[in-house]
Structures are given as C-alpha cells and as structure tokens.
Structure 1
Amino acid sequence: MKNLLYICLVITGLSFFSCDSSLEKYPLDKPSSSTYPSNETELEMALWGCYGSLWLSTNYGMVMPALLDITTDIAWERAEVSMQSIGNGSHDANNSWSEELWKNYYISVARCNYLLDNMERAKAETTPAVYERIKGEVQFLRAYFYLMLTETWGDVPLVTKTLTLAEAQIPQTSKSAIVDFILKELDEAIPVLPVHIDANEWGRISKGTALAIKARTALYNNMYNIAAKAAKEVIDSGEYQIDDNFENLFKSATQSNSKEMMFFITYKEGYRTPGIVRGCTSRMGGGYSSKIPVQATVDSYECIDGLPIDKSSLYDPQKPFENRDPRLGYTIVLPGSEYMGFQFETHKDSVECWNYKTSPASRVANQDALNPYATFSGYIWRKYNEISKPSELDNSETAFIIMRYADVLLMYAEAKTELGEIDNSVYQAINEVRQRKSVNMPPITNKNQSELRSIIRKERKCEFAWEGLRWSDIRRWGIAENVMNEVLYGRPPKDYLHSAPKIDENGTPDYSTVSNKNDMRVIELRSFNKDRDYVLPIPRIEIETNTALKQNPNY
C-alpha cells in the first residue's frame, strides 16, 4: 500500500489537469503539466481547485470540520463505528475516519503547494493585482488546512512544496513551529486580500476572513495579544455584523443575505451537495437520525433570565423547553415542536403524531417513536437541516460555515478576558452575540475574570453547537478529560427529567442528583485518556511507510 502522504503531495498536485507523459509534446486540447498554469484564466481555474479542497468529505458528503462535533460531548453518531470509537475512546491507529481526515487534509495542502510552486508561469499574463490576490488566497487556504492538521494531530509534517518520491520521508514539525508558519502565511496574505467581497464573488476569501482565522489560530495556541488584535481589526472594519435572525444563518434560502457569514463552504445542486439532512433529520421527515445532539447539550442552554436551569425559577421540569434561550429551539428539534411538516415527538408511548401537511391536520403512525433506529437521544439537529425545497433532503445547498462574525466577537472577548484586560469592549462583544434580536438574552455586566471565562465558555457551547468548534474548545480549555469521561445520555424514553441536573462553570450537566436518572437512555459509555486523546493517532499506514514519522504518545 502506498504512503498516503506522498501520494497526496505528488500525485494530487497533478489533478488540475491530465496529460500523456510518454509523448514529449504539449497537448493541444488540455493544459500541460509543463506549462500549467500559463495565463490568468488557468491561474483562476487552479485556484478553484484549491477552494474545491474544502469540499473533501466523508460520511454523507459532510465536510470534515462539521463531523468533529460528533466525537465530542455534545453529539453522537449511531451508524459510523470509526467516528463512534473516537468519541468513546476505543480508537487506535487503524481508525479509518482518522486516516480519511489525514488524507484529505494533505490532498488539500498538495493542491495549494502545486499552485504556489507553479503560478510564476502565469505572472506575465496576469493582472498584477489578480496575481497577488490569488497567491494570498492560496496561502490562506494552506494556512487553514495546517491549522486543522495541528488541531487534530498536534505535530505533523510541514510540507510547503510539491515533493518527489525521494523527498517523501518527512518527520513531524512541532505544532508551535507550524503555528508560526500559519501566522506568517496569513500576515503575507492579509494585505493583498480585498476588504469587501461582492455578491458575484460570494464565498471567496476577504481580508477580514484572514484576520479572523489568524485570531482563531492565535487563540487556540494561547497567543492572546495576537488574537485580540486580529479580532479587533475585523470588528473595526465595519464589514460584518450580527444577523438579527439566528435561524437564517443555517438556511440556504437566506444565507447569502447575511453579513455575519465570513468563511464558508458553498454548495449548488447539480454541482456539489452533501446529504447532511438525510443523515440527521427525523424518521418522519425521511431521514436516518444518525447524527444527533444529546441530553447534555439540551441542558446546557440557560433560561431566558440568563441563569442555568438548576438556578432559574423559570425552569419547569414538566415543561423543560419553555422559557429557554431561543437558540435551543433554533439549534435542536425539541419534542412537541413542528419539523418537516410533522409533530416531532419521541415519547415512546406517542405512537401517533400530527401530520400538518394535510388539511386539516391528521394523525399518522409516529416513526420517531416506533422505528428502532429513530434518534437514540430523543432529539435531532435543526441547525443546517431546515430545507428550502424538497430536493435538499439529499442535496443540501446550505453552506457550511467555518467562520462567522459571532466567533470573532467571542474570540475577542475571550482573549481580552484571558489577558485580564476587561473593559466595556468585552461586554459589548459578548452582548452583541447574546442580544441579537431573535435571541435577546439578558446582557452581561460587571463580572470578574473567572465569571467571564465561564460565561464565554457556555456561550460558545450554545452559540456554535454543530458547527465543528467543540473539538478544539474542550481541548484548548483543558476540560476534555472531564466532559468526555462521562456516560452519554438521552432523554428518559417515557418521561422528562424530574429535576434539573447540576450545571458546572463550563455548562456541563451532572445528573447524579436527578431522581429519575436511572430512567435516562444510556447511549454510550465513554472514556478519555488525558495522556493520549487530546490528539488523534497518526494513521498506521503512514507510520509504516514513512519511517521518519513517530506515533503520538500512548497510541
């Protein structure tokens, strides 16, 4: 079996074109490896190949960042064992999903390296500003792929050019050195990227996006001064704003109107689409309910008075979804709510539910209670799964968001809090997120550093659930060994919780005092080795074929 790393770095660089190397002449009907890219048009085509790497995906065509949430404390995957095993701590270096992630990220790096190695060929035939912008975009993309590699594996090979087979034995570079490289790449890209992206270029990288990923890179690596400064530049640019309507951020019909979206992966039916809705949605809606939120996710959302459910007088165990942070209902389909034209109900005695597609509404067999493979937790994701047309069940056109302005604001607040520089700008940033018109949670005021740290962590958990950020958050905060060494629960199949669980400073529920805890559905028993599981194992095939690599500790 070939080494995935050098196959990706050598061969996939040639995927922008094809040619017959046995003929010592340039093909007349397609680009040649000897001359490509040779002009501005070909340079732009090669750039789209680099952007296309963002589409690289695995399960249901879902992109890699989204699926990381499945392996954390907020979600679960029923059907894909390799993802399950990462979440429950039974994975090893043979894990197929980890291997697929590694391969896809290095395919992405290879495409960027090929273009940066060869774009000089097109310089004379390309408008200077266009040339510099394309170079900046490719540097940005490569930096982003390396950020994901370091977040997932720690120390990885740093490859910045197209390699020959003789050069393919590459040791890891330290994570800190790669982070320095990422920041350098972004600093070079930022000055040549446009401040504003016109509608006809929706999805391309802007200066603000590069600054935002710089802030994320710095924050993830405890470089708080750099993170705060980069995030502040984005805020001061005035290019972005919080969308009044939280739901609209995750619907294909309304995303393009939002000034909150910054870096995202676009889809179009007939070109490229994922099957995310089919994989996540309810059985009544025609889906498989295999990727689901869990009870602990639901219980993390505060009441509308700004207090956790174990402290708020507004929390009613008999009506647990009333008087809650509106983002709970925008993010998760809750029992009793309407979804996909049906009443969503997961109480096992609710063998019938309302079909609102008929007039008048009619009672029908409730597959979300009857089907043995209906959601194991009693909940499903609403975020990203509201379809704008029937074909989106299998061909979703909803863009997956990698960075939005709310993250910039919360990163700024977190960095300033960790620096001990708590001022009005910190409260303003947090409250701008919490008080968007469709959410309107109580403002945060007059808190000390410890209190603000807790508020920001809870805010990130609820604001960004099912957006792929939880993996890095629980690791950089050093709480993964606490939140992942737990039983993963769903709702009691024929009841609600009789009382609120205790909620800690990170928004994590403790069900030990809940009187009907034993009635809760046990989805999975999880374990987390703090001396191993903060990163994934280097895939076994890479270790065997690239002898310069060393396996991550304790795998």
Structure 2
Amino acid sequence: MKYINKSIIIAAMGVATMGLNTSCNNDDFLTVDHYGILPADQMFKTEADAVSGLNGIYDCLFADSKYADAWNFKPQLFFGCHPTLDTQATGYDVNWCKQGWTSDDADLGKSYNYSYRAIGRANDFLTGLESSDNAKNFKSYKYLDGEARALRAYFYMFLAENWGRVPMLANGENFINTPNKAAAETDDEMWDFIIADLKQAAEDLDWKPYNNEYGRCTKGMALSYLGDAYMWKAYKARFNGKTEESKPNLELAKAALSQVITSKTYELAPSYSTLWDVDEAWPKECVWQVVNDMGAGNYGKWDSDAHIFNNFFAASTNGGGGWGSEYLSWELYFSYELGDKRRDASMCTSPVAELPIQYRSATSYGQNPFMQQKLGSDGNNGYMFANGGEYAPAIWTMKLWRCQRAQWTNPHSPCHFYYKRYSGVLFDYAECLFRLNGGDDPEAWNIIDQIRQRAFGNTEVGKGAALNSKFNAYYKSLAGLGGYSDYVAKNNYPIPFDSVSVPVPVAQIYYTKIKNEGLTIDGVGVVSKPFADCEPWEVALGQERRKEFSSEWNLKADLQRSEFLEKSIEYNYPKGVGLPNTDQGKKNNWHYYRNWDFNKQRLVMPIPQNEILRNKLIKQNPGY
C-alpha cells in the first residue's frame, strides 16, 4: 500500500526525530512537492504533468500561511465541533459555542476563500482535461476526471453545509475570471450540482485508489458523500416544508450507501482505541481522511506550510504543555455508559476530586496515558479549569493529542483527521432505514448494536496480542527522546484490550428509556432531560454519533442534517442550568451554562464580509 505525501493528501506519517516509519506492507511512498495548478498549455502535455496539476487540488486540503493558517483544526473545529457544545473554548473562540459568529470573523472568511481556491483549481483542471485531445489517451484519464470531481464536490459540500446556497462556479470559472456570481437560486440547484459530480466520480473511480496511492479519492469516498448529499437534499426538503420530496432522496441515499456496505471494502476496526495511533493511517474503517505530517526537515519550524498546531490547540495547559483551545464537555463525558471504551480512548480529565469513583477512568483520569503526561500538577483540579480568568471543562481530547507531546520548541504535529469513517456510513444507512421504514426497523437497530459491541470492547477479544504487537512499537520508541526523558517504555497498550466479552445494553431498550426519562447519575445529577419530541431512534442515532465522533469534523453536519442538533442542545444543555462563569462556585460545577436561545436561522453562517464587498451579485444570508 502506498501513501501520498502532503501535496496529494497523506504524508508518510513518520516522525524522523523519533525513528518512526508509518507504512502498510512497506511499499514505497510517493513523494511530491507543493503544487499550484500548472499553466493550461503545460498541464496536459504529459500524463505526469496532468497528475501534477491534480496534485494542486489535493494541496488545498492542507494549511498554508496565506489562505488557511491552521486549516484542519481551525476552522474545522469551529464548523464541525464547537456549535454542538460537545467541544468548548475560551477567549474569542467561545463565540463559536454560542452561535456568536459574525461575517467579519477571520476564520470564517479564510475557510470560505480557501474552499473556492480549491474549486477554482478543480474547474481549471477539468476544463483543460476535457478540452485536451492528448489527455483522452491517458491511462489515468477517468481517474483524473473522477478525483477532480470528487474533490470539487467535497469542497462544495463544506460550503453548502455551512453557508447554505452559495455561488456554483462551473468548469473554467474562478473568482478571477468570474468575479461576480450570484448564489444558487434554490437548494436543489446547488445540491444537484454536487450530486452530479459525485455520481460521475463514482462511475470513474475504483474501490482501490489509483496506483494504490492511499490519499486519492475512490469510488467508496464518492458514494459515501453521494449518500450524504442526497440526505442533505432530503433534509433541506423537510426544512423548507416539502416533506413529500424527502423520501425519493432518501431512497437514492440508501442505494448509494448500500453499495459502499455491500462492496466489503470497509469494515469497523476491531478496537476503537487505536484509530488515532500514528501507525493506523488509512485503516479499513477509513473512507476519507487527511493525515497531517509535513515530512522530514520540517520539525521545529514555525512555518504554517510545515505544521499545524493541533497538539497545542488540543493539549492540556494543566500539565500537557498545550494552548487549550479545545475542551470537551462534561455533558458529553457523562453521556457514555459505564464500560463504553470510546470515552477513555477519546478524552482525559484532570484528577477531579468531586468526580464519582465509578466515573474516574482507570487509564485517562489525571493523565494522558499515551503521552504519559500527568494532569493537575498545578492543583487546578475542579470540574472546570480556570484558563486566563475563564472557566472551561477540565477534559481534553486524545484523538488529536495522541501522537506527540505539545512542545513549543517542536510544533510539528502528526495527526489523523477523519472526515468519513465506515461507522458514519453505517449510521447514515441506518437513518435512511428508520426514515423510510419506521422507528422499529430491525436492520437499523442491528447496525447501532453492531457499533456498540465495538464500543464496549467485544470486538477486541482474542486480538489483544496482535493489537499490542502492531501499535505498541511507536510508543516504546518515544522513551529517551528529547522531551521524553521521563517516558517509560511499556509492553502493553496504554488502554488495555479486553480479553472477555461483556454484555452490552440493547440499543432500542436503552435509548427508549433515555428518550422517556433522560439521564440522571448518582453523585452527578441530571445529565440530559427527557427527549420529549424525539423518537427513540432519533435519540439513539444522535447520542451515538456524539459518542462516536467527538472532536471529528463531521459531527455538527451529521447532527444538523438529521435534525438532532437543536434537540441535543435543548436536552443535553438545558438553558439556565449550572452557574455563570462569574460565579465563584463555577470551578466545581460541571454544567455548561447556556444563557442563549438556539436560533435556527444561524444553522446557516453569514457570507464573509470581504466576499460581500468583492462579489457584487452575492447577498448576505438572512439574520446577519
């Protein structure tokens, strides 16, 4: 299996200073440099030039200092996580946790412009590809066409999910040669454009990436997003009061997702815990991801082209050396049932004295077990962590703070960013079944139970030795390296693999109870109110997505599209509960204090102010 370096999408995720070599079957990696789009008269002279031109589109998946500093953490965290309240922030970032974004927000504007940068490149590429007689003889012609269309659709989906109707630049158009363009007139017009690209990409591409270079778009990626796009179209029909138009799109979504499932190309990883380990690049569960690694020679550089700050943003300032822009909520923490290993694999906490003993993780309470860094050494150990005069939950993600300690002298941060996992495809398929067949659909409930079996460790049973052998080598290699003088080499994985199966509550029974009664925990109190206007399946899918995809960029979009986002905030984060940040007792009160009302209109972001000034045909979205 080959990996494609940064300019395509995935780097061989090796930390040279740590002696790491990420590989799959130890095949050679394809190494390329940064690419812009080549001139039109050069791009299709040879097949190699065409591939280089395509690389210029893939390059837009990564940060650079001009367009999107810290892309893949900011703004993706803001769009994909903070609006759910399952991740939280302090400072000016807190506005993204209370629907407080504005049209002049720098991160909002950069992400909008960055997406159109990629779309403009894709349009130029596709125009040249289609008009070149020479290109039609390339062995890779269909792959070049399919990958460019899939990438264009991906960036358009990011825009559509967050800004609603946007200008749909077609082949040959960019904001240089087409500076003024109105937004699509209807949601259907916009989504049909995206769907056409994904359908063509699915026809062009194979299940395996071209030339076995993992990081390229595939048929499975195109079909998974095609199902996603049809579900968005169905959601928009319901949102706009056209429920009769929803069902045909759900049928089409089901058909696309069914192809992904029946292809047997993907499967759930046996252990949820290992998915964010360095050596787990492009596992069979992965449908689409970015692996952030900028390669040898870039370690310690402060160049935005050479790193992003995911460790600094995600790591604890309370013993981890981090910046602390991302905190996870206690509402999310307490939503996990005892025995659900996703909690301990996803997050670590300060050693909170008030936390009931049964809710203290055996591995992740008071420490990051992967980095072997202790939390709470400064005594700042309440439910809330005091950061610069503001309080935030004393919980930090281990999906992003997993592979390297946060050190100011070495900002390079190897990390996985999953955009589409097979578990998400399964949840989407289950949602289609529920909406089409009713809330008792046995196949849909079985899918949820299947994912929950993995969550409770049952799919690890009998695989512990193999999993330890595969993943423990990297963590052993840290001992004795710079910044790791206190690190002790271990023989076993930081979160032990289960050796005996355990009973798992049946999803339909468990979530029917949660729907009717809410969740109250002894020694903690009310975690969620009863979900009064929800069906049990809606609660099941919504809550399971929260547990499965915390700190992953698809969460907000999935919750919004399934109409659970507002309900999650209403019932998991009820208004007026807890204490405001100005109260002296806040440190030992775990609740998020919501003093704002959810505004459905703000499900759509404001068009960036600089775009309003530049594009004479664009209009601001309502409510801004």
Within a 5 Å distance, the mapping from 1:116-155 to structure 2 comes to 116-120=126-130, 123-124=133-134, 127-155=137-165
Report if aligned partners of 2:508, 2:536 keep a CA contact under 8 Å in 1.
no
Residue 606 of structure 2 corresponds to 537
- Determine if the alignment matches structure 1 residue 107 to structure 2 residue 132: no
Unaligned 5+ runs, structure 2:
1-33, 235-248, 299-305, 342-352, 459-503, 513-533, 580-584
Change in Cα spacing, 1:320 to 1:44, as seen in structure 2 (3 Å) is: farther
Q: Deviations over 1:124-152 (max 9, x none)?
A: 25654411111001101111111111111
Residue 203 of structure 2 corresponds to 191
Residue 48 of structure 2 corresponds to 41
Q: CA deviation at 1:526?
A: 5.3
- Determine if the alignment matches structure 1 residue 427 to structure 2 residue 445: yes
Report if aligned partners of 1:484, 1:527 keep a CA contact under 8 Å in 2.
no
Residue 25 of structure 1 corresponds to none
Match for residue 105 of structure 2 among 78, 95, 99: 95
Q: CA deviation at 1:219?
A: 2.0
- Determine if the alignment matches structure 1 residue 471 to structure 2 residue 496: no
- Determine if the alignment matches structure 1 residue 218 to structure 2 residue 208: no
Q: Counterparts of 1:39 and 1:551 in 2: how far apart (Å)?
A: 44
Say which SS state the counterpart of residue 41 (structure 2) adopts.
coil
Report if aligned partners of 2:267, 2:284 keep a CA contact under 8 Å in 1.
yes
Q: CA deviation at 1:434?
A: 1.2
Q: CA deviation at 1:85?
A: 2.2
Q: Counterparts of 2:377 and 2:413 in 1: how far apart (Å)?
A: 25
Report if aligned partners of 1:292, 1:375 keep a CA contact under 8 Å in 2.
no
Change in Cα spacing, 1:78 to 1:235, as seen in structure 2 (3 Å) is: same
Q: Counterparts of 1:334 and 1:509 in 2: how far apart (Å)?
A: 27
Quote the sequence identity (%): 22
Q: Counterparts of 2:114 and 2:577 in 1: how far apart (Å)?
A: 41
Q: CA deviation at 1:340?
A: 2.5
Q: CA deviation at 1:240?
A: 0.5
Q: TM-score, normalised by structure 1?
A: 0.76
Report if aligned partners of 1:277, 1:287 keep a CA contact under 8 Å in 2.
yes
Unaligned 5+ runs, structure 1:
1-14, 19-30, 307-316, 352-367, 486-503
Change in Cα spacing, 1:458 to 1:202, as seen in structure 2 (3 Å) is: same
Report if aligned partners of 2:270, 2:454 keep a CA contact under 8 Å in 1.
yes
Change in Cα spacing, 1:199 to 1:293, as seen in structure 2 (3 Å) is: farther
Residue 322 of structure 1 corresponds to 358
Amino acid at match of 1:249: L
Match for residue 280 of structure 1 among 281, 289, 314: 314
Report if aligned partners of 1:76, 1:293 keep a CA contact under 8 Å in 2.
yes
Report if aligned partners of 1:60, 1:279 keep a CA contact under 8 Å in 2.
no
Q: Counterparts of 1:77 and 1:159 in 2: how far apart (Å)?
A: 35
Say which SS state the counterpart of residue 288 (structure 1) adopts.
coil
- Determine if the alignment matches structure 1 residue 550 to structure 2 residue 619: yes
Q: Deviations over 1:95-147 (max 9, x none)?
A: 22211111111111111111001124655256544111110011011111111
Report if aligned partners of 1:116, 1:138 keep a CA contact under 8 Å in 2.
yes
- Determine if the alignment matches structure 1 residue 267 to structure 2 residue 267: no
Say which SS state the counterpart of residue 322 (structure 1) adopts.
helix
Match for residue 289 of structure 1 among 321, 324, 332: 324
Q: CA deviation at 1:338?
A: 3.9
Report if aligned partners of 1:280, 1:291 keep a CA contact under 8 Å in 2.
yes
Q: Counterparts of 1:199 and 1:243 in 2: how far apart (Å)?
A: 24
Q: Counterparts of 1:546 and 1:129 in 2: how far apart (Å)?
A: 40
Q: Counterparts of 2:603 and 2:406 in 1: how far apart (Å)?
A: 40
Say which SS state the counterpart of residue 156 (structure 1) adopts.
coil
Amino acid at match of 2:457: V
Q: CA deviation at 1:319?
A: 5.0
Q: Counterparts of 2:558 and 2:59 in 1: how far apart (Å)?
A: 27
Q: Counterparts of 1:372 and 1:339 in 2: how far apart (Å)?
A: 27
Q: CA deviation at 1:260?
A: 0.2
Residue 406 of structure 1 corresponds to 423
Q: Counterparts of 1:75 and 1:119 in 2: how far apart (Å)?
A: 42
Amino acid at match of 1:281: A
Amino acid at match of 1:48: N
Amino acid at match of 2:443: S
Q: Counterparts of 1:278 and 1:554 in 2: how far apart (Å)?
A: 34
| Greater mean alpha carbon deviation, residues 428-437 or residues 532-541 | 428-437
Change in Cα spacing, 1:444 to 1:185, as seen in structure 2 (3 Å) is: same
Report if aligned partners of 1:435, 1:442 keep a CA contact under 8 Å in 2.
no
Q: Deviations over 1:456-495 (max 9, x none)?
A: 111001101110123223433445455557xxxxxxxxxx
Q: Counterparts of 2:223 and 2:621 in 1: how far apart (Å)?
A: 31
Report if aligned partners of 1:338, 1:344 keep a CA contact under 8 Å in 2.
no
Report if aligned partners of 1:36, 1:121 keep a CA contact under 8 Å in 2.
no
- Determine if the alignment matches structure 1 residue 299 to structure 2 residue 334: yes
Residue 374 of structure 2 corresponds to 343
Within a 5 Å distance, the mapping from 1:139-178 to structure 2 comes to 139-163=149-173, 167-173=178-184, 174-178=186-190
Q: Counterparts of 1:50 and 1:196 in 2: how far apart (Å)?
A: 20
Q: Counterparts of 1:424 and 1:350 in 2: how far apart (Å)?
A: 45
Report if aligned partners of 1:335, 1:344 keep a CA contact under 8 Å in 2.
yes
Q: Counterparts of 2:449 and 2:590 in 1: how far apart (Å)?
A: 36
Say which SS state the counterpart of residue 219 (structure 1) adopts.
helix
Say which SS state the counterpart of residue 141 (structure 1) adopts.
helix
Report if aligned partners of 2:574, 2:594 keep a CA contact under 8 Å in 1.
no
Report if aligned partners of 1:290, 1:375 keep a CA contact under 8 Å in 2.
no
Change in Cα spacing, 1:371 to 1:78, as seen in structure 2 (3 Å) is: closer
| Greater mean alpha carbon deviation, residues 225-234 or residues 123-132 | 123-132
Residue 22 of structure 1 corresponds to none
Amino acid at match of 2:395: Y
Change in Cα spacing, 1:229 to 1:290, as seen in structure 2 (3 Å) is: same
Q: CA deviation at 1:303?
A: 3.0
Within a 5 Å distance, the mapping from 1:197-212 to structure 2 comes to 197=209, 200-212=212-224
Q: CA deviation at 1:519?
A: 4.3
Q: Counterparts of 1:210 and 1:540 in 2: how far apart (Å)?
A: 32
Q: CA deviation at 1:281?
A: 0.5
| Greater mean alpha carbon deviation, residues 335-344 or residues 522-531 | 522-531
Within a 5 Å distance, the mapping from 1:348-427 to structure 2 comes to 348=379, 372=388, 376-387=392-403, 394-420=411-437, 422-427=440-445
Q: TM-score, normalised by structure 2?
A: 0.68
Change in Cα spacing, 1:281 to 1:172, as seen in structure 2 (3 Å) is: same
Change in Cα spacing, 1:389 to 1:47, as seen in structure 2 (3 Å) is: farther
Corresponding pairs, count: 476
Residue 244 of structure 1 corresponds to 270
Amino acid at match of 2:280: T
Change in Cα spacing, 1:372 to 1:115, as seen in structure 2 (3 Å) is: same
Report if aligned partners of 1:281, 1:385 keep a CA contact under 8 Å in 2.
yes
Q: Deviations over 1:497-517 (max 9, x none)?
A: xxxxxxx5xx55788499x88
Q: Counterparts of 2:362 and 2:326 in 1: how far apart (Å)?
A: 17
- Determine if the alignment matches structure 1 residue 461 to structure 2 residue 546: yes
Q: Counterparts of 1:445 and 1:118 in 2: how far apart (Å)?
A: 53
Report if aligned partners of 2:578, 2:590 keep a CA contact under 8 Å in 1.
no
